[in-house]
């Protein structure tokens, strides 16, 4: 079984997908972590695209998919805890717009989904990477609500942030992700849209679980 969730940052994709994965007994795949892994490599190379492309060809970046964590490694050393730094977040949509990077991430995602039942979340999963997924969802929420959520999340972590900057980053990534030439953020025609602005976390998790039950034969 393959379930995909797409949508903009802060709409609740990861937390919802993780909870659904746990309850449905499937693995969780975070496609953003892969784009963030490439972005970390780009940052390590001074944000210089030609150096970055040389390093990509060395295949030093690798990924592992645990039940609920998508992990990144550079030359075998785990860098998962560096993927959500402010610098990576600021650059990720630029790196994710590069066709070479998208090709590599898509291949890694397809490979990961071959061997497991999973729920994967991202921007172009229902439209480009997994057009034949068993179920597709598109999560959205008002920008103000998304900025508040993300701000709260970041404040709980190590790096300081101010609400206006968080909101600006979300708007700038929304713009880049929606308008890029390759695989833009877009709702698949057959995706079920859930606006999470006013739903509770339990409600959105249950909406997805209900749809999964509809396509899963009853076990007696």
- Report the interface residues with ligand CDP, using CB under 6 A: 9, 14, 31-32, 35-36, 92-93, 96, 122-125, 173, 177
Closer to ligand CDP by Cβ: residue 34 or 55:
34
Q: Residue 21 Cβ, how far from ligand CDP at the closest point, in Å?
A: 15
Q: Residue 5 Cβ, how far from ligand CDP at the closest point, in Å?
A: 10
Contacts of 16 (CB under 8 A, 6+ apart): 5, 139, 196, 201, 204, 205, 208
Q: Which residue is nearest to ligand CDP (CB)?
A: 32
Is residue 6 within 8 Å of 138, Cβ to Cβ? Answer: yes
Closer to ligand CDP by Cβ: residue 96 or 208:
96
Q: Residue 173 Cβ, how far from ligand CDP at the closest point, in Å?
A: 4
Collapsing DSSP to helix, strand or coil, 137 comes out as: strand
Is residue 137 within 8 Å of 3, Cβ to Cβ? Answer: yes
- Helix, strand, coil abundance in the chain, percent, nearest 5: 50, 15, 30
Comparing CA positions, the residue from 41, 17, 7 lying closest to residue 139 is 7
Closer to ligand CDP by Cβ: residue 124 or 211:
124
Closer to ligand CDP by Cβ: residue 147 or 208:
147
**C-beta atoms surrounding 66 within 10 Å:** 10
Q: Residue 9 Cβ, how far from ligand CDP at the closest point, in Å?
A: 3
Closer to ligand CDP by Cβ: residue 9 or 119:
9
Q: Residue 15 Cβ, how far from ligand CDP at the closest point, in Å?
A: 10
């Amino acid at each position: 079984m393959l379930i995909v969730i797409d949508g903009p940052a802060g709409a609740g994709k990861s937390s919802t997908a993780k909870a659904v994965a746990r309850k449905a007994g499937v693995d969780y795949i975070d496609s953003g972590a892969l784009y963030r892994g490439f972005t970390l490599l780009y940052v390590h190379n001074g944000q210089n695209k030609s150096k970055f492309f040389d390093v990509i060809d060395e295949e030093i970046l690798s990924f592992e998919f645990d039940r609920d964590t998508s992990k990144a490694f550079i030359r075998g050393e785990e860098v998962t805890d560096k993927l959500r730094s402010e610098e990576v977040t600021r650059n990720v949509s630029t790196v994710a717009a590069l066709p070479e990077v998208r090709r590599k991430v898509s291949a890694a995602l397809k490979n990961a989904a071959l061997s497991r039942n999973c729920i994967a979340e991202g921007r172009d999963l229902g439209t480009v990477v997994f057009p034949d997924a068993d179920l597709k969802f598109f999560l959205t929420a008002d920008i103000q609500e998304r900025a508040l959520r993300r701000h709260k999340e970041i404040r709980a972590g190590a790096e300081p942030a101010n609400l206006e900057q968080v909101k600006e980053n979300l708007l700038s990534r929304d713009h880049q992700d929606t308008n890029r030439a390759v695989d833009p953020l877009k709702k698949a025609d057959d995706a079920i849209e859930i606006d999470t602005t006013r739903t509770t976390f339990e409600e959105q998790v249950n909406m997805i679980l209900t749809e999964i039950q509809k396509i899963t034969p009853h076990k007696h």
